[in-house]
């Protein structure tokens, strides 16, 4: 990789140029203790906040004597915007203003750990799953800034700090929100155009001097991923102008061809490195979701802070993205108010929501009512028949009778010899139900008669027929 620069958490190593001295007090509150780092923009100091009695990092922006006041106002406006953020992966800004000499300054939280650049120098290439764990909190921080209308414009390894607390918990932090977006590039160049620092993370639109938006940070974030995976930047050149030309026109070597990550990871990075902003990831949120899914499919379940990838990234927009997660746990039953289709027993909705009970059929009641009417009418007809015809009725019962034949006989002979009429009555009565007439057209049946019919002198008197005797045949 040929690392030629040395980063500290807040900039380049301290040099010899000093505008401020140890022991000076900024705005009667911040006592400068020692220099922490510096860059083309100025100097970062460890300072004691006399108001809060704690150490903070104070960044002082060096301005040229003839710098326009609007330049200072712009820096302070962006510092004011950064101070509104309450994101765990964005360094907290406590205070900002101007020193007694007119230089802008920002007081922010003091961090302990190392920058991503220092981690890359110490370890070389960083494996894909671990890198995704470290950078997902940064992607979420950038999305938060973009939602507030702030574009970082300077995403690079030196501005990603892997902080640790007293308990050893890791929290990646994003530094320098737009504080030096225009000063770094110019001050890193020598008079001959040689690159002292590097604008390797500039997007093509930045190289052209065009307007930038949140997709510029998508590009820089992709360059950051590429460098951490391969230990080299995707675009290289010997001077500033050649580098800009390479950024605008050249295609990078795929990461998987350098034994860094796999093809799927390269496809995600390659989309972030498209020359046209319209062809890149539309947001850092979409980019982060794709990275989280890539890591999840390879066994990564949490980011560097211990946050669940599934909860933080893969379920927030689950319905929109329709992401299918390979999980060992069955998916939860989704409650729905949609009425299931009882004709589809394999439907997931049918399994989740029980179908309503089927409506009761009216046919049994209609059939029963028709049979009762037939029996009542049959009794009236039987009462009007002369007794000599009774043998004919019983004889007919042994052959296919008409539809109005009674179900059973109440004579002793019929009781002694079981008649097949009761079992055949429902089947014969059912097809004739539409033709059943009211009481004006009675059907002959001695079973439903309320008075005993005339009998032959030799036959004993027949008991009264009870309509309930036929109830079992009709389900009463």
Catalytic residues: 154
Distance (Å, whole) CA 133 – CA 116: 13
Q: Within 10 A of 102 (CB to CB), how many other CB atoms are there?
A: 11
CB 207 within 8 A of CB 247: yes
Distance (Å, whole) CA 160 – CA 117: 8
Distance (Å, whole) CA 44 – CA 476: 97
| Bridge partners, 59 (sequence order) | 44, 106
* 55 contact partners, CB below 8 Å, separation of at least 6: 33, 46, 47, 48, 49, 110
Distance (Å, whole) CA 407 – CA 50: 110
Instruction: Please tell me what DSSP assigns to residue 387.
Output: G
What element of type H or E holds 133? helix 128-147
Which is it for strands 54-61 and 25-26: parallel, antiparallel or unpaired?
unpaired
* 423 contact partners, CB below 8 Å, separation of at least 6: none
What element of type H or E holds 134? helix 128-147
Angle in degrees, CA 123, 127, 131, rounded to 5? 95
């Amino acid at each position: 990789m040929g690392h030629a620069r040395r980063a500290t958490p807040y900039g380049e190593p301290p040099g010899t140029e000093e505008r401020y001295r140890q022991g000076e007090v900024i705005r009667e509150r911040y006592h400068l203790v020692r220099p922490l780092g510096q860059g083309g923009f100025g100097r970062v100091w460890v300072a004691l906040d006399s108001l809060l009695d704690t150490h903070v990092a104070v960044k002082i922006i060096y301005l040229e004597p003839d710098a326009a006041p609007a330049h200072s106002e712009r820096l302070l406006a962006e510092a004011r915007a950064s101070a509104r953020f309450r994101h765990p992966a964005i360094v907290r800004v406590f205070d900002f203003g101007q020193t007694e000499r007119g230089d802008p300054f920002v007081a922010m939280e003091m961090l302990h750990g190392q920058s991503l650049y220092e981690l890359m120098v110490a370890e070389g290439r960083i494996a894909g799953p671990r890198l995704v764990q470290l950078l997902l909190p940064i992607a979420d921080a950038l999305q938060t800034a973009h939602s507030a209308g702030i574009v970082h414009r300077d995403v690079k390894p030196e501005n990603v700090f892997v902080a640790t607390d007293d308990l050893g918990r890791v929290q990646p932090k994003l530094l320098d929100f737009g504080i030096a977006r225009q000063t770094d590039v110019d001050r890193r160049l020598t008079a001959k155009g040689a690159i002292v620092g590097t604008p390797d993370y500039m997007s093509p639109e930045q190289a052209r001097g065009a307007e930038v938006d949140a997709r510029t940070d998508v590009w820089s974030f992709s360059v950051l991923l590429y460098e951490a995976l391969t230990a080299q930047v995707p675009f290289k050149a010997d001077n500033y102008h050649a580098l800009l030309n390479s950024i605008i026109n050249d295609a990078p070597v795929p990461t998987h061809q350098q034994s860094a990550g796999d093809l799927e990871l390269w496809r995600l990075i390659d989309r972030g490195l498209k020359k046209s902003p319209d062809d890149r990831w539309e947001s850092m949120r979409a980019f982060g979701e794709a990275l989280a899914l890539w890591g999840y499919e390879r066994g990564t379940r949490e980011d560097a802070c211990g946050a669940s990838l599934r909860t933080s990234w893969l379920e927030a927009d689950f319905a929109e993205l329709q992401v299918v997660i390979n999980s060992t746990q069955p998916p939860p039953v989704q409650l729905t108010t949609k009425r299931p289709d009882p004709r589809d027993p394999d439907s997931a909705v049918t399994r989740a929501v029980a179908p309503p009970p089927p409506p009761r059929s009216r046919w049994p009641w209609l059939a029963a009512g028709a049979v009762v009417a037939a029996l009542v009418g049959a009794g009236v007809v039987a009462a009007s028949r002369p007794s000599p015809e009774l043998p004919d009725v019983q004889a007919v019962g042994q052959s296919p009778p008409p539809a109005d034949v009674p179900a059973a006989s109440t004579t002793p002979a019929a009781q002694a010899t079981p008649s097949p009429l009761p079992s055949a009555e429902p089947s014969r009565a059912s097809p004739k139900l539409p033709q059943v007439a009211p009481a004006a057209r009675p059907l002959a049946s001695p079973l439903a008669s309320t008075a005993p019919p005339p009998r032959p002198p030799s036959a004993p008197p027949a008991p009264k027929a009870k309509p309930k005797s036929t109830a079992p045949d009709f389900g009463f």
